[in-house]
Amino acid sequence: MTNATAQAVAIAPEALQQTVAEALGDKVGQIKLERGEVTVQIAPADYFEAMQLLRDAPGCRFDQLVDLCGLDYSAYRDGAWEGQRFAVVAHLLSVELNQRLRVRVFCADDDFPVVATLCPLWSVANWYEREAFDLYGIVFDGHEDLRRILTDYGFIGHPFRKDFPVTGHVEMRYDAERRRVVYEPVSIEAREVTPRIIREDNYGGLH
pLDDT at 196: 64
Q: By the 8 A CB rule, do 115 and 101 touch? A: no
Q: CA–CA separation, 77 vs 160, rounded Å? A: 17
Q: By the 8 A CB rule, do 143 and 117 touch? A: yes
Q: By the 8 A CB rule, do 98 and 60 touch? A: no
Which DSSP category does 62 fall into? -
Tell me the whole-structure pTM to 2 decimals: 0.80
pLDDT at 4: 46
For the chain, which ranges sit under pLDDT 70? Answer: 1-9, 190-200, 202-207
pLDDT at 56: 95
* pLDDT tens digits along 50-108: 999 999 999 999 999 999 999 999 988 787 888 999 999 999 999 999 999 999 999 99
Amino acid at 116: A
Nearest to 38, CA basis, from 106, 105, 90, 103: 103
pLDDT at 207: 55
112 CB contacts (<8 Å, ≥6 apart)?
A: 139
Nearest to 167, CA basis, from 188, 184, 153, 150: 188
pLDDT at 7: 47
Q: CA–CA separation, 29 vs 44, rounded Å? A: 10
| Number of residues assigned to the chain | 207
pLDDT at 188: 73
Helices assigned H by DSSP within the chain: 3-9, 13-24, 47-56, 125-136
pLDDT at 139: 97
